[in-house]
């Protein structure tokens, strides 16, 4: 932890990333508490067209006359949540899978790794599309689909770590003392195998946010009227010529957020790599 | 060496069966079927049922899979549900464009990232290193479809440098090979640029990390102690290390080469396999989809084999 | 620095290849370039179901009859036709001297072969039902080399319309499997343009048919490109990579209309978009609820917001360009009056919650799910406006956007009380007003009467409408049908969208005021002005 703080002090990009992400989180948590701000509100009796940035709407409005800034803040909540949740799934599944495969070894390991090969061999876009079509698009399925199609890399990573850790003297000694499998895994093996996972997870959040935007591009992302950066950007593409401001806010926010997670991952790697 | 090849080829059979069977189940679990594309108020339910029966879709899924396998073993990949054309020729027609885009992007990425990564690692912490880090990360972070569209608007519409979309000028059909390649290259520019910008970060970081690790290694320290110029050493060492990721990339990257970059193909109207596959998912064209997956799984097996054999050739110890 | 240099170098290398001034290699031919928007499926008039194929098939094939700009059926491969007094026997005299693109003679055998293939159950066609009347097939016979006699099992008013389908060459297809034959990728027809080449996902190239029996086409070739992304297609139009683009979105209108090189046009389409209610559903099956929903929707404002100037509100299951259109005043319209919505709901025993602002009763909140297909921006926007409008009167709507195949599956399979609640989709209309397959109660639960409408008056009027051959009487019948339907609100009719298109000013021979069939009346008349000929 101290090392992390030290790196943040010296690495301005990592510091800026933390501040930026914290700002997004704070805005996402506080703005919904302000009464009378509804990101989905519009008056259906008016002529609904995108409006250019003005004093009332700093970043303009979308094609339903809704404020882009407000929607971007709400959309940020969803995009960040999708990113974090789906990575939680892929990290949990991947870590558990890698632990079991690496620890048990033998035929079990062989079979489990062959299944990973199969999952990796199916081009991910087909897998994601088909699953999303089966489950039907909404926020929960977006999280599930991204999570359950991105755990394989982490599983391989953890398995490789476990394989090398389990023959080390301190693990062998612990085993000799008759410690149960679960606590052996939890107390001795996992803590040593987890560092590369943390780096992969941090980088993965950015990847998941991008994956959500691609799902939105294909029309299978978060459903209206709820905003996510992905569906805001997708919706804006049709208005590139007429209302370019519609795409700038979500596009820039996605880019900055993914960038921030990358810098953060980089910094964590520095700490762990020592 | 022979043993590795034999082992790998035997191991490939369950892998290919696993891939195709799993995807067959997943594809068929998706609601809807090819007849949804034929919606029209003049169609009757009986006609739809008749078409389903003609296509063999009234049979249980397991049977449909075994039937498919049986035909594949006879060398018949079946006929597309949406066009009635043989799946094999449908896929082969997309192969050139797919390979051109994926191989050229692979080559460009390697050519660009190798010097960038080596130099950044060598001068880690310098302004150059930081600039490379930031720009390559930005390239990774920008959503591809947004970037692609902006490149079309700026480089194609505003500056008129490249055609907006397509593969080859249709009027060059039958023209000389030289003219045709020129046309393909100019159409290739924008999709290629979009892919490169997005993917520069990955390998650059990899090489950079490698160089930093080498610089700290005992080997270099010892060499330095002996007074050998480290630049020469570093680059010899680093280049040797650079060969391995290329092999891995070629081996593991093959499924990606086949599914291609759907988003890029769609935006730039590039006639590759990605568009074919995604259209097949949306229209539930199972034969085409299975053909695509079969091809990609065969390529993966071949890629893995190639990687193993090359590793063994470079470093005999890996044979065990 | 290195990276930038490399990128610039790359751009220069690639840029240099496109020729000194970036101009496309010119051919001295008169070639019209269009965008089909997607890869065709079957270039076969019996088998295709998609719009890219329909474009190509329309240029390559000809039918016995064709539609003219007044939406009447006129002879084409037939030189004349004759209908018997009882409306059962149609005699077609075939045009003489017509050649297939491969030089063979067109004969009565081709016509017989085409319909025989169509009626064969092993042919994967969706068109068969237009040639089966109440389950009985039509009978097609050749009297002599130039005469065809078609006998119907019973009178059928829409029959002549279905004679527009393209005729296939028997000498090429006889004995082949029509579903998988390579003919479907390299067709031979009798139309003004013949097939040259189809490069997968790139383009289809057609060239002038020198043997064409009609006016000789002015164009040498037509190049039909495949550019799926609408934004890219718009750039391609602006850069003259395509000459004409149909199906622009309303929001693109301003951008193209201010471009001096482009001529912008619009025309009405024979179609309507609607919100359908599941009439078997316990809530939406109640007419009072549908009435309450209708009163809460401001159709005019919605249509303005969705389509701008490029469309009009829809009030009934017919289009103003159809001859059966009785006029807006002949049908029941529940005009926007949100206070009536609330009055109805209170009367039905619903109470409005002060916390959520929603109406509720003993069974819970007044809510339903609205489903439509993803990718149609107009429908997505309309769905959100409906959602917001109903929210303001205390009705909760949840939107679900589904991918097309999944959406159709849901429509087909989730009938009954627990099925889809409400959905937005459109019907494109034929030249004939017959709408038996959409409204007749026999078309539920399998068929296109997804909503489960069971109105015996409508049923008998529909049956009468398709067997009556007198146009004036039919018009009266359809007026009654529209009245019955609009009164009952099984659909909330949304809009008729216009087709917006633009062409380069160097394209000549287009319709000045295009009708519902599009901007190209006779493709034979279209030409490129010589100064800009490529």
Distance from CA of C160 to the nearest CA of A (A): 40
Neighbours of chain C (3+ CB pairs under 8 A): A, B
Task: Report chain B residues touching chain A, CB-CB < 8 A.
Answer: 14-15, 18-19, 22-23, 26-27, 29-32, 133-134, 137-138, 140-146, 149, 153, 201, 252, 255-256, 258-259, 262-263, 274, 277-278, 281-282, 289, 292-293, 296-297, 300
Q: Average pLDDT for residues C174-179, to the nearest whole number?
A: 91
Residues 6+ apart with CB under 8 A from C387: A225, C370, C397, C399
Q: Which fold has domain A2-40+60-272?
A: MetI-like fold (1.10.3720)
| CB distance C507 to C244 below 8 Å | yes
What CA–CA distance (Å, rounded) separates C328 from C313? 10
Residues 6+ apart with CB under 8 A from C255: A241, A242, C234
CA C35 to mean position of chain CA atoms: 17
CB contact under 8 A, C402 and A137: yes
* Reported pTM: 0.82
Distance from CA of C305 to the nearest CA of A (A): 5
What CA–CA distance (Å, rounded) separates C215 from C411? 45
Q: Which fold has domain C65-173?
A: Dipeptide-binding Protein; domain 1 (3.90.76)
Specify the pLDDT at position C250.
Answer: 82
Residues 6+ apart with CB under 8 A from A48: A42, A63, A64, A65, C305, C381, C385
Q: What is the pLDDT of residues C346-378, one digit of tens each?
A: 999 999 988 888 999 888 889 999 999 887 889
Q: Is C150 helix (H, G, I), strand (E, B) or coil?
A: strand
Q: Average pLDDT for residues B97-111, to the nearest whole number?
A: 87
Segment of A230-234, C126-130, C432-436, C493-497 carrying the highest mean pLDDT: C493-497
Distance from CA of B291 to the nearest CA of C (A): 16
CB contact under 8 A, B138 and A259: yes
More confident residue, C204 or A5: C204
Specify the pLDDT at position B254.
Answer: 62
**Of the candidates C532, C503, C521, C529, the residue with the CA atom closest to the CA atom of residue C238:** C503
Q: Average pLDDT for residues C459-480, to the nearest whole number?
A: 92
Secondary structure element (H or E) that encloses residue A132, with its range: helix A124-135
More confident residue, B126 or C170: C170
Specify the pLDDT at position A196.
Answer: 82
As to burial, measured by CB atoms within 10 angstroms (0-12 exposed, 13-18 middle, 19+ buried), residue C33 is: buried
pLDDT > 90? residue A83: yes
**Per the structure block, which two tokens stand in for A109?**
């390991």
Q: Map tokens 């499926």 to a residue.
A: C41
- Read off φ and ψ for residue B241, nearest 5 degrees: -70, -25
CB contact under 8 A, B296 and A121: yes
More confident residue, C128 or C168: C168
pLDDT band at B234 (very low <50, low <70, confident <90, very high): low
Secondary structure element (H or E) that encloses residue C428, with its range: strand C422-428
End-to-end, the C-alpha distance of chain B in Å comes to: 11
Question: Which residues of chain A make contact with C392, given a CB cutoff of 8 A?
Answer: 44
Residues 6+ apart with CB under 8 A from B242: B114, B207, B210
CA-based R_g, chain C, Å:
26
Question: Which residues of chain C make contact with B94, given a CB cutoff of 8 A?
Answer: 200-201
Q: What is the pLDDT of residues B207-221, one digit of tens each?
A: 888 778 777 777 677
| CB distance A256 to A245 below 8 Å | no
What CA–CA distance (Å, rounded) separates B306 from B304? 5
Secondary structure element (H or E) that encloses residue A96, with its range: helix A68-104
Best residue in C7, C176, C229, C318 to probe B by mutation, most B CBs within 10 Å? C229
**Per the structure block, which two tokens stand in for B293?**
């997956």
Please tell me which residue of chain B has the smallest CA distance to C131: B42
Provide the pairing of β-strand C221-225 with C203-208.
antiparallel
What CA–CA distance (Å, rounded) separates B153 from B161? 11
Closest residue to C377, CB basis, from A44, A238, A240: A238
Question: Which residues of chain A make contact with B255, given a CB cutoff of 8 A?
Answer: 120-123
- Read off φ and ψ for residue C228, nearest 5 degrees: -70, -35
Distance from CA of B176 to the nearest CA of A (A): 36
What CA–CA distance (Å, rounded) separates B33 from B214? 55
CB proximity B92 to C under 8 Å: no
pLDDT > 60? residue A171: yes
B-C contacts (CB, under 8 Å): 226
Q: What is the pLDDT of residues A93-142, one digit of tens each?
A: 999 999 999 988 888 998 898 888 888 878 778 888 888 888 877 888 89
Q: What is the pLDDT of residues A197-228, one digit of tens each?
A: 888 898 889 989 999 998 888 878 888 888 99
Specify the pLDDT at position C90.
Answer: 95
pLDDT > 60? residue A274: no
Specify the pLDDT at position C9.
Answer: 37
Mean pLDDT of all residues in chain B? 80
pLDDT band at C26 (very low <50, low <70, confident <90, very high): very low
Q: Map tokens 């302000």 to a residue.
A: A34
Closest residue to B43, CB basis, from C6, C129, C182: C129
CB proximity C181 to B under 8 Å: yes
Q: Is C225 helix (H, G, I), strand (E, B) or coil?
A: strand
Distance from CA of A265 to the nearest CA of B (A): 12
Q: How is chain A split into domains, by residue range? A: 2-40+60-272
CA-based R_g, chain A, Å:
22
CB contact under 8 A, B300 and A217: no
pLDDT > 90? residue C109: yes
Best residue in A241, A243, A246 to probe C by mutation, most C CBs within 10 Å? A241
Best residue in B32, B129, B174, B289 to probe C by mutation, most C CBs within 10 Å? B32
pLDDT band at A151 (very low <50, low <70, confident <90, very high): very high
Segment of B125-134, C285-294, C438-447 carrying the highest mean pLDDT: C285-294
CB contact under 8 A, C10 and B188: no
Best residue in B146, B154, B265 to probe A by mutation, most A CBs within 10 Å? B146
Specify the pLDDT at position C10.
Answer: 36
pLDDT > 80? residue A46: yes
Specify the pLDDT at position A82.
Answer: 92
Q: What is the pLDDT of residues C269-304, one digit of tens each?
A: 889 999 999 998 889 999 999 999 999 999 999 999
What CA–CA distance (Å, rounded) separates A56 from C281? 44
pLDDT band at B243 (very low <50, low <70, confident <90, very high): low
Specify the pLDDT at position B251.
Answer: 61
What CA–CA distance (Å, rounded) separates A171 from A192? 11
Specify the pLDDT at position A49.
Answer: 85
Specify the pLDDT at position B260.
Answer: 58
**Per the structure block, which two tokens stand in for C410?**
């849901």
Specify the pLDDT at position B218.
Answer: 73
How far, in Å, are A221, B128, B244 from residue B107 at the CA level? 33, 23, 15
pLDDT > 90? residue C314: yes
Positive or negative torsion for Cα B143, B144, B149, B150: positive
pLDDT band at B247 (very low <50, low <70, confident <90, very high): low
C272-497, superfamily in CATH? Dipeptide-binding Protein; Domain 3 (3.10.105.10)
Question: Which residues of chain C make contact with B51, given a CB cutoff of 8 A?
Answer: 124-126
How far, in Å, are B210, B213, B230, B231, B236 from residue B217 at the CA level? 11, 6, 12, 14, 14
Specify the pLDDT at position B241.
Answer: 64
**Per the structure block, which two tokens stand in for C98?**
């017509």
Provide the pairing of β-strand C262-268 with C491-504.
antiparallel
pLDDT band at C481 (very low <50, low <70, confident <90, very high): very high
CB contact under 8 A, B141 and A263: no
Question: Which residues of chain A make contact with B26, given a CB cutoff of 8 A?
Answer: 127, 130-131, 134
What CA–CA distance (Å, rounded) separates A126 from B279? 10
Question: Which residues of chain B make contact with C224, given a CB cutoff of 8 A?
Answer: none
Question: Which residues of chain A make contact with C249, given a CB cutoff of 8 A?
Answer: 238
> Please, which residues bridge with residue C207 across strands?
C194, C221
Q: What is the pLDDT of residues A257-272, one digit of tens each?
A: 999 999 988 888 877 7
| CB distance A126 to B289 below 8 Å | yes
CB contact under 8 A, B15 and A251: no
CB proximity C239 to B under 8 Å: yes
Closest residue to A130, CB basis, from B27, B137, B142: B27
pLDDT > 70? residue C179: yes
| CB distance B274 to B98 below 8 Å | yes
Q: Give me the percent of chain A exceeding a pLDDT of 70.
A: 99
CB contact under 8 A, A262 and B281: no
Please tell me which residue of chain C has the smallest CA distance to B85: C180
CB proximity C179 to B under 8 Å: yes
DSSP string, C71-140: S-EEESSEEEEEE-TTS-EEEEEEPTT-B-TTSPBP-HHHHHHHHHHHH-TTS--S-GGGGEETTEE-EE
Complete domains list, chain B, with CATH = 93-319 (1.10.3720.10)
Closest residue to C305, CB basis, from A40, A48, A242: A48
| CB distance C289 to C341 below 8 Å | no
CB contact under 8 A, B140 and A237: no
CA B182 to mean position of chain CA atoms: 23
C10-59+191-268+499-528, superfamily in CATH? Periplasmic binding protein-like II (3.40.190.10)
- What ipTM did this prediction achieve? 0.84
CA-based R_g, chain B, Å:
24
Question: Which residues of chain C make contact with B183, given a CB cutoff of 8 A?
Answer: 17-18, 25
Q: Average pLDDT for residues C403-414, to the nearest whole number?
A: 74
A-B contacts (CB, under 8 Å): 116
pLDDT > 60? residue A8: yes
pLDDT > 50? residue C170: yes
Q: How is chain C split into domains, by residue range? A: 10-59+191-268+499-528, 65-173, 272-497
Alpha helices in C149-298 (DSSP H): 170-173, 230-238, 253-257, 287-296
CB contact under 8 A, C14 and B189: yes
Closest residue to B258, CB basis, from A123, A129, A131: A123
Q: What is the pLDDT of residues C202-247, one digit of tens each?
A: 999 999 999 999 999 999 999 999 998 888 899 999 989 999 998 8
Specify the pLDDT at position C225.
Answer: 93
Determine which of A7-11, A100-104, C365-369, C454-458 has the lowest per-residue pLDDT on average.
Answer: A7-11
Beta-carbon neighbour count of residue B229 at 10 Å?
9
Please tell me which residue of chain B has the smallest CA distance to A129: B281
Best residue in A122, A129, A209, A245 to probe B by mutation, most B CBs within 10 Å? A122
Distance from CA of C157 to the nearest CA of A (A): 41
Question: Which residues of chain B make contact with C27, given a CB cutoff of 8 A?
Answer: 171
Count of alpha carbons within 13 angstroms of residue C472, beta-carbon side: 0
| CB distance A78 to A227 below 8 Å | yes
Question: Which residues of chain B make contact with C41, given a CB cutoff of 8 A?
Answer: 37, 82-84
């Amino acid at each position: 932890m101290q090392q992390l703080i030290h790196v943040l002090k010296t690495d301005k990009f990592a510091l800026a990333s933390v501040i930026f992400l914290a700002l997004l989180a704070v805005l996402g948590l506080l703005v919904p508490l302000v009464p009378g701000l509804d990101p989905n509100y519009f008056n259906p009796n008016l002529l609904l067209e995108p409006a250019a940035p003005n004093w009332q709407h700093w970043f303009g409005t979308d094609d339903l006359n809704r404020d882009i800034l407000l929607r971007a803040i709400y959309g940020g909540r969803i995009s960040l949540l999708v990113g974090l949740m789906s990575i939680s799934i892929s990290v949990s599944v991947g870590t558990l899978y890698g632990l079991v495969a690496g620890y048990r070894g033998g035929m079990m390991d062989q079979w489990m790794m062959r299944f990973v090969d199969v999952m990796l061999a199916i081009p991910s876009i087909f897998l994601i599309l088909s699953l999303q079509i089966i489950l039907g698009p909404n926020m929960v399925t977006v999280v599930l689909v991204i999570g359950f199609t991105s755990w394989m890399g982490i599983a391989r990573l953890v398995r490789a770590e476990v394989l090398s850790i389990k023959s080390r003297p301190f693990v062998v000694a612990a085993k000799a003392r008759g410690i149960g499998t679960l606590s052996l895994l939890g107390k001795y093996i996992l803590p040593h195998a987890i560092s590369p996972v943390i780096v992969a997870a941090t980088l993965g959040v950015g990847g998941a946010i991008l994956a959500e935007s691609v799902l939105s591009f294909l029309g299978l992302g978060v459903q209206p009227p709820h905003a996510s950066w992905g569906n805001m950007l997708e919706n804006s593409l049709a208005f590139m010529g007429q209302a370019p401001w519609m795409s700038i806010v979500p596009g820039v926010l996605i880019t900055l957020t993914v960038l921030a997670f990358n810098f953060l991952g980089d910094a964590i790697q520095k700490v762990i790599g020592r | 060496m022979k043993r590795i090849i034999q082992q790998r080829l035997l191991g490939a059979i369950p892998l290919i069966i696993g891939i195709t069977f799993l995807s067959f189940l997943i594809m068929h679990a998706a609601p809807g079927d090819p007849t949804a594309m034929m919606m029209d108020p003049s169609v009757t339910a009986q006609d739809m049922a008749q078409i389903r029966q003609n296509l063999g879709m009234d049979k249980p899924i397991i049977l449909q899979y075994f039937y498919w396998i049986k035909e594949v073993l006879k060398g018949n990949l079946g006929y597309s549900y949406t066009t009635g054309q043989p799946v094999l020729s449908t896929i082969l027609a997309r192969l050139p464009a797919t390979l051109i885009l994926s191989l050229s992007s692979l080559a460009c990425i390697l050519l660009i990232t190798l010097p960038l990564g080596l130099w950044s690692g060598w001068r880690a912490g310098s302004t150059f290193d930081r600039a490379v880090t930031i720009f390559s990360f930005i390239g990774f972070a920008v959503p591809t479809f947004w970037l692609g569209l902006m490149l079309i608007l700026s480089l194609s519409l505003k500056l008129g440098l490249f055609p907006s979309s397509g593969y080859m000028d249709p009027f060059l059909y039958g023209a000389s090979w030289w003219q045709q390649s020129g046309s393909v290259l100019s159409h290739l520019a924008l999709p290629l640029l979009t892919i490169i910008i997005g993917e520069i970060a990955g390998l650059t970081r990899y090489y950079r990390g490698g160089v930093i690790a080498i610089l700290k290694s005992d080997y270099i320290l010892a060499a330095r102690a002996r007074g050998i110029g480290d630049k020469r050493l570093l680059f010899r060492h680093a280049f040797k290390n650079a060969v391995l990721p290329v092999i891995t990339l070629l081996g593991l990257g093959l499924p990606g080469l086949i599914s291609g970059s759907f988003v890029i193909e769609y935006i730039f109207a590039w006639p590759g396999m990605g568009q074919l596959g995604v259209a097949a998912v949306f229209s539930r064209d199972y034969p085409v989809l299975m053909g695509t997956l079969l091809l990609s799984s065969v390529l993966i097996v071949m890629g893995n084999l190639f990687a193993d054999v090359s590793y063994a050739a470079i470093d005999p110890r890996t044979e065990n | 620095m290195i990276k930038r240099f490399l990128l610039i170098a790359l751009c220069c290398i690639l840029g240099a290849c496109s020729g000194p001034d970036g101009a496309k290699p010119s051919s001295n031919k008169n070639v019209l370039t269009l965008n089909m928007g997607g890869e065709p499926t079957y270039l076969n008039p019996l088998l295709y179901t998609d719009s890219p194929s329909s474009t190509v098939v329309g240029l390559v094939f000809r039918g016995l009859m064709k539609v003219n700009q007044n939406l009447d059926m006129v002879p084409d491969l037939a030189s004349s036709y004759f209908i018997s007094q009882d409306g059962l026997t149609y005699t077609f005299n075939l045009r003489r001297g017509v050649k297939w693109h491969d030089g063979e003679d067109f004969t009565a055998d081709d016509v017989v072969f085409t319909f025989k293939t169509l009626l064969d159950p092993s042919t994967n066609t969706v068109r068969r039902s237009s040639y089966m009347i109440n389950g009985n097939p039509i009978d097609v016979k050749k009297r002599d080399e130039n005469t065809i006699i078609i006998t119907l099992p019973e009178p059928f008013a829409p029959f002549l319309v279905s004679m527009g389908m393209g005729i296939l060459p028997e000498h090429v297809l006889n004995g082949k499997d029509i579903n998988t034959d390579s003919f479907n990728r390299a067709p031979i027809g009798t139309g003004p343009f013949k097939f040259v080449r189809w490069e997968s996902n790139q383009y289809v190239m057609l060239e002038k048919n020198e043997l064409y029996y009609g006016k000789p086409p002015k164009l040498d070739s037509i190049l039909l490109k495949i550019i799926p992304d609408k934004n890219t297609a718009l750039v391609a139009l602006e850069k003259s990579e395509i000459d004409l683009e149909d199906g622009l979105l309303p929001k693109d209108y301003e951008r193209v209309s201010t471009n001096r090189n482009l001529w912008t046009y619009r025309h009405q389409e024979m179609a309507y978009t609607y919100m359908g209610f599941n009439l078997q559903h316990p809530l939406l099956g109640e007419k009072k609820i549908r009435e309450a929903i209708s009163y809460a929707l401001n159709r005019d404002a919605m249509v303005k917001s969705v389509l701008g100037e490029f469309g009009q509100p829809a009030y009934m299951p017919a289009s103003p360009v159809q001859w059966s259109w009785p006029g807006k005043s002949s049908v029941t319209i529940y005009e926007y009056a949100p206070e009536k919505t609330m009055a109805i709901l209170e009367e039905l025993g619903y109470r409005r919650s002060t916390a959520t602002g929603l109406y509720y009763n003993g069974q819970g909140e007044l809510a339903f799910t609205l489903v439509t297909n993803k990718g149609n921006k107009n429908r997505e926007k309309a769905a959100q406006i409906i959602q917001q409008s109903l929210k303001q009167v205390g009705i909760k709507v949840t939107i679900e956007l589904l991918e097309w195949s999944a959406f159709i599956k849901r429509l087909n399979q989730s009938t009954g009380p627990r099925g889809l609640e409400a959905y937005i989709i459109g019907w494109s209309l034929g030249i004939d007003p017959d709408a038996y397959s959409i409204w007749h109660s026999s078309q539920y639960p399998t068929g296109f009467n997804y909503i489960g409408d069971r109105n015996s008056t409508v049923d008998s009027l529909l049956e009468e409408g398709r067997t009556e051959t007198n146009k004036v009487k039919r018009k009266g019948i359809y007026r009654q049908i529209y009245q019955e339907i609009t009164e009952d609100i099984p659909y909330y009719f949304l809009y008729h969208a216009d087709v917006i298109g633009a062409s380069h000013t160097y394209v000549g021979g287009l319709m000045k005021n295009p009708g519902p069939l599009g901007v190209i009346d006779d493709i034979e008349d279209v030409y490129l002005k010589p100064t800009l000929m490529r």
